[in-house]
Structure 1
Amino acid sequence: MSVNRRLLTASVSSLLVEIGFDAAENQALETLVEMIQSFIREVGIGCRTYAEVAGRTETMVADVILALVNMGFNPNGIEAHARRPNHSMLPAPIPSSQPKQLSILQAGIKKDHPMHIPTNLPPFPDPHAYIRTPTHKQPVTEYEAIREKAACQKRDLERALVKFVAKTGETDSL
């Protein structure tokens, strides 16, 4: 079970205890969690849609309100629910394992900024990325290699032309 799913299960359980339930069957709890997860997903999709229609990449509170209204929910009930007197607080989640430090491969020695570049700019990338990185194969400039390649191309062209004429030309049957 993912961390998000466990947090959602804990939240639903906390709400059930708050409204007076002492216990809940696993199947009923999973059904409620699935419903809440689906609801959150639909609100998120609606928010993203409203933000995209408005030409934005990030959602705003207005997008959330519009998504809730579009789904048939009254957004005023959320504020009343948040201000209820006896709401329970969930403890902060404990990370299951320490995040691993990634070893970053580095090729070459990083250079410091020259004097004319402000220090607040990010450092240069690894030198292999920008110091003489060939983008194409260098052309052959030797005379003998060029003559040999031209002769091969001429032979290939003649063969292709002979095959083409043989396939498309008129044939006389004997």
Structure 2
Amino acid sequence: MAGPSHATPYPVYRRVLQSAVSAICLEQGFGFCDATAMETLTEMLQATLIEVCHSAKSFAELGGRTEASAPDVCLAIADIGIRFEGMRDYMRRPGKIQIASPGIQACVTTPLTLRAGERKPLPSHIPDHFPPFPDSHAYIRTLTHRQPVTEYVAIREKVASQKRDIERALTRFVAKTSGTQTLFPDNPTLYPLIACKPSPQPWLVALEPKDQVFEDEEDDEKEELVPERGESGQQPDNPYLRGVKMPRRRF
């Protein structure tokens, strides 16, 4: 009788039955056994145990119980035709081979490749056989951006750092496109400075009012160009700036 291939404990149970059959064969004087004969004997033992278990379950349900007891097992054994006369003596025979109980193997859990946060335990109103909660990022809303920094000291430090980087980048750009000066003659590229261009009349720049705006030079009165009757002004492209057109009345 073949067992299901997807059941995990089936190979272990099959190995235990083969060990029991091997022990019985050794007690009877056999030195070796063919693989086909071993599989046949193991299959017969497994079929007998399954039939006994099914019959014991039927007797238990017939008596109104959910679990089989010792009398149910005895009735199931007698129902398939096995006698009890020599069973007790056979169980207490001397020199029988003891089969070691199979060890318990620890479950090998595959670690998750990506795990964010900690899993919350199940509340008291949810039974333990329910699956656990997934990772917190799967159902809890989390912000994907950081809050802006509002501290005065941090903002000033950031502005100073940006200003220093801009000045350094501008100095390097001007150093590559024009002449520079250096404070360290041994290493000109260590801290380059923008070279000042000499002017023949440096005092003239201070006297020229380039940045000043005088009110006398501004003309407050602007002449409006009125188009003649024969000339039609150019209509703007923006429809909101065009002139109003009165609709024509149809009689």
Q: How far did residue 100 of structure 1 move?
A: 4.2
Q: How far did residue 101 of structure 1 move?
A: 6.4
Report the 3-state secondary structure (helix = DSSP H, G, I; strand = E; otherwise coil) of the residue aligned with 2:103. coil
TM-score normalised by structure 2 residue count: 0.40
Higher-helix-fraction structure = 1
- Give the letter for the 1:29 counterpart: M
Q: How does 1:129-144 map to 2 (within 5 A)?
A: none
Measure, in 2, the Cα distance between the counterparts of 1:20 and 1:105.
59
Measure, in 2, the Cα distance between the counterparts of 1:50 and 1:41.
14
- 1:67 maps to 2:72: no
* Amino-acid identity (%): 31
5+ residue gaps, structure 1: 111-123, 127-174
Measure, in 2, the Cα distance between the counterparts of 1:30 and 1:13.
11
Measure, in 1, the Cα distance between the counterparts of 2:75 and 2:96.
26
- 1:8 maps to 2:22: no
Q: Higher relative CO (CA 8 A, sep ≥ 6), structure 1 or 2? A: 1
Q: Among 17, 30, 33, which residue is 1:24 paired with? A: 33
- Give the letter for the 1:60 counterpart: S
User: Which runs of 4 or more aligned residues in structure 1 lie more than 3 Å from their structure 2 counterparts after TM superposition?
Assistant: 100-105
Deviations 1:7-57 (A, max 9, x none): 100110011001111010000010000000000000000000000000001
Q: How far did residue 107 of structure 1 move?
A: 5.7
Measure, in 2, the Cα distance between the counterparts of 1:77 and 1:102.
51
Q: Match for residue 85 of structure 2?
A: 76
Q: How does 1:103-142 map to 2 (within 5 A)?
A: 105-106=119-120, 124-125=124-125
- 1:99 maps to 2:113: no
Deviations 1:96-126 (A, max 9, x none): x422469994268x6xxxxxxxxxxxxx246
Q: Match for residue 153 of structure 2?
A: none
5+ residue gaps, structure 2: 1-9, 112-117, 127-251
- Give the letter for the 1:3 counterpart: V
Structure with greater Cα Rg = 2
TM-score normalised by structure 1 residue count: 0.57
Measure, in 2, the Cα distance between the counterparts of 1:76 and 1:105.
59
Closer/same/farther in 2, CA of residues 85 and 106 from structure 1, 3 Å limit = same
Q: How far did residue 94 of structure 1 move?
A: 3.0
- Give the letter for the 1:18 counterpart: E
Measure, in 1, the Cα distance between the counterparts of 2:20 and 2:31.
15
Closer/same/farther in 2, CA of residues 65 and 102 from structure 1, 3 Å limit = farther
Report the 3-state secondary structure (helix = DSSP H, G, I; strand = E; otherwise coil) of the residue aligned with 1:4. helix
